[in-house]
Structure 1
Amino acid sequence: MMTDSYVIGCSSTCDNKGGNLTPKNGSCSGAGCCQVNVPKSLQYYQGYFNEGYNTTEIWRSSPCSYMAVIEANEFHFSTTYLKSTVFYDKYNGTAPVVYDWAISTETCTEAKRNMTSYACVSDNSVCIDNLTNGYGYRCKCSNGYEGNPYVKDGCKDIDECLNNVTYPCMGICTNTLGNFTCSCHQGNYMMNGVCVPNKKLGFGLVPAVVGASVAFVVLVITIMCAYLIKERRKLQHIKQHYFRQHGGLLLFEEMKSQQGVAFKIYSHEELQEATNMFNEQHILGQGGHGTVYKGILKGNMEVAVKRCMTINEQQKKEFGKEMLILSQINHKNIVKLLGCCLEVEVPMLVYEFIPNGTLFDLIHGNYGHQITLATRLRIAHESAEALTYLHSCASPPILHGDIKSSNILLDKNLIAKVSDFGASILAPTDESQFVTLVQGTCGYLDPEYMQLCQLTDKSDVYSFGVVLVELLTCQKAFNLNAPEHEKSLSMRFLNALKDNKLGDILDGQIKNSENMPFLEEIAELANQCLEMSGVNRPSMKQVADNLDRLRKVMQHPWAEQNSEELESLLGDSSMVISRGTSTGNFSIERKGVMELDSGR
């Protein structure tokens, strides 16, 4: 709001004692009349005669004393105004003025922030800043419209074709919203706003030009169609080449011969449509082997589509064979491979979609510290069961090669699902079998594998041991920002065991007197998995069995009783539990065949 205030005034006199103040027509400079300019942007004024005003000596001859605000161009002083009511009669008691006005004191930009009070409510209206006074705004109808911009639908389209003077058109006028077009009748053309007959161009020239233009357009379209057909055929040949190169024909024939194989070969177009052309917003995760996208196939089936990054020549030849073997994996704790796409340079894999993220997210996310020991132990056991199936039940055995917490997915019930076989290989039985170069992930890699470049089932055991430590500590497997000797979680864990400081590294949410016997037992199991030499590590089956037995002990009411009571309760059944005197750890070994409730 404007706060400027002014005091202005002028002085006039009718005293002509000196002979220099004779009133003159058209002059208002102090002799009988004076004037002063009123500043712009005033919102209020008050006029008054000051205390020096005195008409004692002239009131008989000049009884008219008045002041008025009036437009400067409308006022021309006349000496007759001094001794009569001519001025008053001329304007009928009023005076012509020009008011400047604006909507509020806001600019257009400020006013638009509050649309409830914004005055330009009509469609096709625009806001104009009041530049004359430097504050406020006004509204007007957009070009091509007229009316009242301050009411809804107040701005109406101008029919320019009805006013040929303001909007000249020497041809066919066609009104459009906010504008108009002017065209010529057939046989004429527009030149400088005037329609001119075609014959002035020369007989036969226009048809020739039109004919040549049509022929050119047809030629261009023909060439483009031929090019597109050629490129489409070329693309089909490339797709067929990749399909054969990746063993697609072998895979297709094997699928036909093996009835009941739930595996599909997808086209590139299907997966593009499912992932919205592999849009970045569909990315579920990225790793060293490729990028995983969420896709929705026809029928609203949710899937995870993995685009692998690279593949070597040997892999290309045996890819179809490996896909057929991996497609037959059927385990409740392994993500199901639904199909693949072979008609691209690097094949794509299609997995079932698991909705609840990864174990990494659960451990290291905002809610990671709310996981109970029982839940952690169950997830570890389910993951171990999955790896046991790959190592011992698949034919031929399969080595995962990249076990880590981010490759263990969790469904809506937090059931573990081992995923990402991008690094998997079939366990070799002879030199001709399919072998893949495995990269692995820093912090989880088997040190023996890095030395000998030979991946074994015990490499997966080592990586699983790191996952166990993650579950116990809620710390990441590798921390680049930590000091050199503390970057590796497995090294810190082993040093803590060696110095009898296990409690210092355990997650505080699960570390209590009730859980400590089980935590020590799990830590000892992780310690065995992290043995430098693979031959000293347990098999995944042994790991799974130990985790299963620990779960059974935790879930029974006699879990908190002393070892003598436990042994008397179990008798000659499935296990004997004894407590060592030096470390207080439980030592569990299988004795019988009696089955206990697993608590699944």
Structure 2
Amino acid sequence: MEKEYTRLLLPAHLLLLLFHPAAADTVPVVARSPGCSTKCGNIDVPYPFGLDPQCAIHSGFELNCTTVNGATKLFHDDLEVIKISVKDGKSWVKTWISRQCYHRANDTITYNNAWINVSTYVLSADDNKVVILGCDSLAYMLSDSYIIGCLSTCDDKTQRPKNGSCSGAGCCQANLPRGVSYYQGFFNSFYNNSEPRLSSTSCNYVTVMETKAFNFRSTYLTTSEFWDADGSRTPVVMEWGISRNTCQEAKVDKETPYACVSSNSDCVTNDFGYLCNCSSGYKGNPYVVGGCTGGSVGLVVLVIAITCAYLIRERRKLHRIKKKYYRQHGGMLLFQEMKSQQGIAFKIFSEEELQRATNMFDEKNVIGHGGHGKVYKGVLKNDVQVAVKRCMTIDEQQKKEFGKEMLILSQVNHKNIVKLLGCCLEVEVPMLVYEFIPNGTLFQLFHGDHGQHISLSTRLRIAYESAEALAYLHSCASPPILHGDVKSSNILLDGDYTAKVSDFGASILAPTDMSQFVTYVQGTCGYLDPEYMQTWQLTDKSDVYSFGVVILELFTRKKAFNLDGPEHEKSLTLVFLSAMKNNRLMDILDEQIKNDENTELLEEIAELARQCLEMSGINRPSMKEVADKLDRLRKVMQHPWTPENSEELYSLLGDSSVSSTGVVTTENFTIAKNAAMGLELGR
């Protein structure tokens, strides 16, 4: 739908050519030193790139032209560059393949693990995919924030590999999140230890490559054809920008010159930073003075005539497409159910309403983003602030069930869950509209650079409220709802810093049979349930494990996964479990909350986190049990439990603290206090 909408508007933009005078043919003045070469073999090297320091806009755009085995090749560090597009802000490079091979003759497995780490580029999420080849191969790419992978299998009866088909039989693909500049390829040993079945030397592969350049062949599974095709490398599309600044930041930057020097050029912010384009009706190089030139008046008249006819046809086509998507996503079913069930505060929004609310999904309004899409702040006509979640993909099963699932989610009503207000169905991938929560995320509160002091009572309250919300989804929603991505960045804070669990949608209703279980691996590093990684079955105990990591974040103020830390300190979970084993809990807790009076309470919280992080889901408590335990700890902290104010203790705990004579004894007081804190739970 988004593509169709763009196709409709682009010709209209050409009408602006009427207001631009026709530009004379001029020779652009290149903003670099004279004598700079613009070719490396048969590859164009346009500015801002250059083959010498004085020829590139800055060091990140310096390339190297060299001869390899008699052939002239272009390199950026150790990446071979095969094409550069100034217009698109993209470069095509060759990257390496990760390989795992089984040798039947000597019963050994060998590995070639590839990785990429570049500072000038990010991988294009629109042009590339993660590709996995092999039989019984569960492989994945590990980036700085995500794990992306899938499972390819071979079954002679039901999963026979077919040329040109990459749907799980010997080949599978996974989408890339945006903004990734670093990854490594890995194979999951749980699936890859079994003996390959196709030849004496069978290999599994994982790589990131350009979607258009890949066409699966079954011979990739039985020969080394895929590995040998281009020196064990595959083409990948990279997006680049002049710097990490946005357009607004670049224009006021005193230290770095603004790059869009040609008249009739525009600045564009992308996933990397900012780049320059020639304005509508102009073409050329916006990075050189006079580089953007226009067309003739005659061409403009011709374009206008064609555009008028095109617009009439495309508007009719657009209307038909919107109706098709509306029906496909269950819009009629949802509308009829809403009419029959009076009082449901849920609205079906039009695409135009949400475009107007977000100023055409302006990047300035982005308040969150991840592997599934972006979240925009919007203002409706009645001045109500909302958050609009615009996802990238949806599978066929979700399309069929979307209307029914939206009706279920619209009835979720809990004070600690972000309210789903409505959805938009007339687009290819439905958009979700939530209430707007003003104080950002729990992740931003704890890991931002503001250094704000957060009391122990506030942390315990946020933990309890979040647990209550998840317990409601698991136990009270009908059917139960599994969150699937519990993390601190999905817990929002309102004006009073009350916790609001967010980012649950049409993909996480509890499965009713085995066929509905998730069969690919995608999640957030540091929070993933290890049992889910082994079984690919998302359960309520997967949410419990992830929430255990959130508890650690709350009371250590450390990130769940620290890519820059030493190897043994990357995972907060492993650091915590090691500290518990060696009786060093206090060494990893946040200094703001440690004191002699809190030691017993903190140990109880740590024990609860440890139970949540059990390797086997069956040994973990339910979210209801977690919430109840946090509630007891919270109430204990709210009362200064001493024998002198024993009446309050009695009112909270009842007869457990009173002797047979009705007197609160010291011995019974201690027993009751311990019971309140749940000291026997799990011991």
TM over 0.5: yes
Counterpart amino acid of residue 426 in structure 1: L
SS at match of 1:547: helix
C-alpha separation in 2, matches of 1:562 and 1:490: 39
Q: Deviations 1:61-99 (Å, cap 9, x if unpaired)? A: xxxxxxxxxxxxxxxxxxxxxxxxxxxxxxxxxxxxxxx
Within 5 Å, give how 1:118-267 maps onto structure 2: 224-267=307-350
| Structure 2 match to 1:181 | none
| 2:593 is the alignment partner of 1:510 | yes
Identify if the C-alpha distance between structure 1 residues 588 and 236 changes in structure 2 by more than 3 Å, giving closer, same or farther: same
C-alpha separation in 2, matches of 1:348 and 1:500: 48
C-alpha separation in 2, matches of 1:369 and 1:379: 16
C-alpha separation in 2, matches of 1:258 and 1:551: 39
Percent sequence identity is 76
| 2:371 is the alignment partner of 1:288 | yes
C-alpha separation in 2, matches of 1:343 and 1:550: 48
C-alpha separation in 2, matches of 1:283 and 1:509: 32
Note the C-alpha offset of 1:584. Answer: 13
| Structure 2 match to 1:484 | 567
| Structure 1 match to 2:388 | 305
Counterpart amino acid of residue 465 in structure 2: E
Within 5 Å, give how 1:84-99 maps onto structure 2: none
Q: Deviations 1:153-187 (Å, cap 9, x if unpaired)? A: xxxxxxxxxxxxxxxxxxxxxxxxxxxxxxxxxxx
Q: TM-score, normalised by structure 2?
A: 0.51
Note the C-alpha offset of 1:334. Answer: 0.2
| Structure 2 match to 1:320 | 403
C-alpha separation in 2, matches of 1:277 and 1:301: 17
Counterpart pick for 2:552 among 469, 482, 490? 469
Q: Deviations 1:265-318 (Å, cap 9, x if unpaired)? A: 111111111111111100001111110000011011100001011111111111
Contact 1:553/1:559, CA 8 A, preserved across alignment: no
Counterpart pick for 2:503 among 403, 417, 420? 420
C-alpha separation in 2, matches of 1:494 and 1:346: 41
| Structure 2 match to 1:537 | 620
Contact 2:409/2:505, CA 8 A, preserved across alignment: no
SS at match of 2:554: helix
Report the more deviating stretch, 364-373 or 480-489: 364-373
Note the C-alpha offset of 1:485. Answer: 2.1
Note the C-alpha offset of 1:572. Answer: 2.0
Contact 1:295/1:305, CA 8 A, preserved across alignment: yes
| 2:655 is the alignment partner of 1:572 | yes
SS at match of 2:596: coil
| Structure 2 match to 1:443 | 526
C-alpha separation in 1, matches of 2:657 and 2:679: 10
Report the more deviating stretch, 325-334 or 421-430: 421-430
C-alpha separation in 2, matches of 1:336 and 1:569: 33
Counterpart amino acid of residue 385 in structure 2: E
Count of residues in Structure 1 that have an aligned counterpart in Structure 2:
374
SS at match of 1:527: helix
Q: Which has the higher strand share?
A: 2
C-alpha separation in 2, matches of 1:547 and 1:577: 21
Counterpart amino acid of residue 597 in structure 2: E
C-alpha separation in 2, matches of 1:561 and 1:476: 41
Q: Deviations 1:499-522 (Å, cap 9, x if unpaired)? A: 000010000000111111111100
Within 5 Å, give how 1:28-107 maps onto structure 2: none
Report the more deviating stretch, 240-249 or 301-310: 240-249
**Higher relative contact order by CA 8 Å / sep ≥ 6: 1 or 2?**
2
Identify if the C-alpha distance between structure 1 residues 318 and 578 changes in structure 2 by more than 3 Å, giving closer, same or farther: farther
| Structure 2 match to 1:344 | 427
| Structure 1 match to 2:633 | 550
Contact 1:531/1:537, CA 8 A, preserved across alignment: yes
Counterpart amino acid of residue 435 in structure 2: E
| 2:477 is the alignment partner of 1:394 | yes
| 2:461 is the alignment partner of 1:374 | no
Note the C-alpha offset of 1:571. Answer: 5.0
Contact 2:424/2:432, CA 8 A, preserved across alignment: yes
Report the more deviating stretch, 245-254 or 277-286: 245-254
Contact 1:517/1:584, CA 8 A, preserved across alignment: no
| 2:524 is the alignment partner of 1:458 | no
Q: Deviations 1:403-440 (Å, cap 9, x if unpaired)? A: 00000000000000000014751112235769796732
Counterpart amino acid of residue 558 in structure 1: W
Identify if the C-alpha distance between structure 1 residues 569 and 258 changes in structure 2 by more than 3 Å, giving closer, same or farther: closer
C-alpha separation in 1, matches of 2:412 and 2:519: 19
| Structure 2 match to 1:55 | none
Q: C-alpha root-mean-square deviation of aligned residues, in Å?
A: 3.3
C-alpha separation in 2, matches of 1:577 and 1:310: 58
C-alpha separation in 2, matches of 1:559 and 1:542: 27
SS at match of 2:524: coil
C-alpha separation in 2, matches of 1:525 and 1:548: 12
Counterpart amino acid of residue 523 in structure 1: A
Note the C-alpha offset of 1:394. Answer: 0.3
Report the more deviating stretch, 435-444 or 482-491: 435-444
Contact 1:424/1:438, CA 8 A, preserved across alignment: no
Identify if the C-alpha distance between structure 1 residues 252 and 432 changes in structure 2 by more than 3 Å, giving closer, same or farther: farther
SS at match of 1:454: coil
